[in-house]
Amino acid sequence: MTFEGIINDINNRVFKPVYILQGEEPYFIDQITERLMNGILDEMQKAFNLNILYGKDTDVPSIDNMARRFPMGADYTVVIVKEAQSISGIEDLQYYVSNPSESSILVIAYKYKTLDKRKKLYKAAKKTGVIFESKKIYDNKVPRWIHNYLASRKISIEPSAGVILTEYLGNDLAKISNELDKLILTLPEGDSKIASDHIEKNIGISKDYNNFELMKALAKKNVLKANRIVQYFGSNQKLNHINQTISSLYYFFSKVLALHFMQSDSNREIASTLQINPYFVQDYQQAARNYSRSKVVEIISILREFDLKSKGFGNPSVPADELLQEMIFKILH
């Protein structure tokens, strides 16, 4: 089942006896676990019927025993096992999962790993309950996730602001959601839109000196602005690590190279093919006009070269700020 489908069922009080929540992205696992923790029992019922266990402190027999208890004054006994990836011999849960109690709901939060689909526990859970695999979101999908997260709270965000947040927070959804919640709380009364200057004021990310603005400056071949941004990066290296900049530029110029091979001039088709927000299509088109196909191939090679140098290969002593300045010079000239 999908994350949205599971949440919808919980909201409609449609429950399964077993939930296996597994995978690399802890955010969705935590969200489903919290909904089950708070959406099945009321506060009085929780005192007798909610059992929270931790993988390092429990074992399969203890989980089995708790899950077979009859509820007291409620429809269900709820057993939530956090950090279940630490349980030794978890496959032995197959015996309970194959025939779970109808009056119990067992939640297994199995973070950062997945169960072996060939083994009996996985197969049993697939028959009697729900298996949800929480996958990491690719960086290029994060701005859309941010948009949807805020939209569900009736808040909008400037497209550029979403990209800036992604650049500096990566794809850690728990971290991103935490920062978004802070931004929502700091919005002026009556304001329902997050802008770049709001992010700068409350998170400390410059709206003028960031990787997104550097990409735009390079796309326009604005040498002065690009150099100003690079100088700012050099004096603020903790917030502007060279590897993060190289990664962002590699993503950008890889898309520019793909654009060179496209036949269509339709913004919608370009956005769909390159998997970018239509709002940014003009930046990629401008870069394609300013950099020939062969030059873009050369730029990608330059980025690979300086990625290695930034990690110490063939560069024993040149500091990061000087490497960045040299790299941008080679891109522009």
> Structural domains in the chain?
3-134 (3.40.50.300), 139-203 (1.10.8.60), 211-332 (1.20.272.10)
pLDDT on residue 188: 86
Could you state, in chain order, the average pLDDT of each consecutive group of 10 residues for the chain (333 residues)? Answer: 94 96 96 96 95 96 96 96 95 97 97 95 96 90 90 90 83 91 89 88 84 94 94 84 91 95 90 88 95 97 94 81 94 94
Cα–Cα dist 61/67, whole Å:
10
**pTM of this prediction?**
0.76
203 token code pair: 């998170």
Q: What is the pLDDT of residue 316?
A: 67
Q: Tokens 């965000």 appear where? A: 157
User: For the chain, give me the number of helices (H) and strands (E)?
Assistant: 17, 7
pLDDT for res 51: 97
Length of the chain equals 333
Q: Are 259 and 288 spatial neighbours (Cβ–Cβ below 8 Å)?
A: yes
DSSP, res 266: -
- Rounded CA-CA distance 264/270 in Å is 7
Sorted by sequence, the CB contacts under 8 Å of residue 270 that are 6+ apart come out as 259, 262, 264, 276, 281, 284, 285
Q: Report residue 110 as tokens.
A: 């199995």
- What does 204-240 look like in DSSP terms, one character per residue? ---SSSSHHHHHHHHHTT-HHHHHHHHHHHHH-TTTS
Q: CA nearest 212: which of 155, 148, 162?
A: 162
**How high is the pLDDT of residue 314?**
77
User: Whose CA is closest to 248, among 143, 111, 93?
Assistant: 143
Rounded-to-integer distance, Cα 11 and Cα 329, Å: 55
Closest CA to 50 of 82, 75, 84, 78: 78
Place of tokens 């859309």: 144
Backbone angles phi, psi at 25, to 5 degrees: -100, 105
Task: Tell me if 96 sits within 8 A of 65, measured CB to CB.
Answer: no
Given a contact cutoff of 8 angstroms between Cβ atoms, the answer to whether 168 and 236 are in contact is no
- Phi, psi angles (nearest 5°) of residue 276: -130, 165
Q: What is the DSSP string of 230-277?
A: HHHHHH-TTTS-HHHHHHHHHHHHHHHHHHHT-----HHHHHHHHT--
Identify the bridge partners of residue 197 per DSSP, sorted by sequence position. none
Cβ burial of 84 (10 Å; 0-12, 13-18, 19+) is: buried
Non-local (6+) Cβ contacts of 278 within 8 A are: 267, 268, 271
- Give me 127's structure tokens: 């028959």
The token pair that represents 238 in the structure block: 């903790």
C-alpha–C-alpha distance, residues 283 and 265, integer Å: 14
- Integer Cα distance of 82 and 18 in angstroms: 14
As a dihedral over the C-alpha atoms of residue 189, residue 27, residue 36, residue 2, rounded to 10 degrees, the angle is: 100
Residue 154 tokens read as 């009736």
